[in-house]
Amino acid sequence: MASTSNQGKPNISLSSLPLQILLYLNSWYFAFFWIAELLMYIYKGSVLPYPAGNLTAELILLILMAFVESTRIFLGKKGNLTERKIGLLVSVGLSIPITFCLLFLLLWQTYVLRAELITCGIELAFIAIEAIFSIAAVLTFQKYESAL
């Protein structure tokens, strides 16, 4: 809803509600994903024979992934709510390393469980849809700035 500012010009909220909802849902889903992935690593480490160092390297990747993904979601939420392009663009940029981490979990880790295929696929879908909505929001912010 547009309100009027002190100079009589309408203040229009340009924040993307679908993007904000996706980021909110993804923050909860990533928490579930991370815990499930950690439990699957505990299962794989106790049942399956891992080469020396592989389990440790994959767990370190999982921890780094948590830091990058939480930063990506935080910057996406703040960039959308404050209508700042830089936050959304950095969020889109951080989706690239997260995508590579997820591809590693899907394709190149030592053992891939069916549950990992499903959870990683859902997370990849979240990231792809959020990137599309983030770019659309950046274009909307740019269009509004150039119209002023």
pLDDT tens profile 7-47: 666 778 899 999 999 999 999 999 999 999 999 999 999 99
Of 3, 73, 75, 66, residue with least CA distance to 37: 66
Tell me what pLDDT residue 88 has. Answer: 97
Query: H-helix or E-strand containing 55?
Result: helix 54-81
Structure-token pair, residue 90: 């950095």
Report, as an integer, the average pLDDT of 86-114.
Answer: 97
Residue type, 136: A
Is residue 21 within 8 Å of 128, Cβ to Cβ?
A: no
**Residue bearing the bigger pLDDT, 147 or 111:** 111
Q: Residue 83: which pLDDT band, with cuts at 50, 70 and 90?
A: very high
Percent of the chain at pLDDT exceeding 70:
93
Report, as an integer, the average pLDDT of 104-129.
Answer: 97
- pLDDT(4) > 70: no
Q: Residue 85: which pLDDT band, with cuts at 50, 70 and 90?
A: very high
Largest CA distance in the chain: 70
Tell me what pLDDT residue 148 has. Answer: 74
Tell me what pLDDT residue 8 has. Answer: 61
On the CB side of 113, how many CA atoms lie within 13 Å of its CA?
15
Tell me what pLDDT residue 29 has. Answer: 98
**Chain mean pLDDT for the chain:** 93
77-80 LR contacts (CB < 8 Å, sep 24+)? 77/20, 77/23, 77/24, 79/134, 80/15, 80/16, 80/19, 80/20, 80/23, 80/134, 80/137
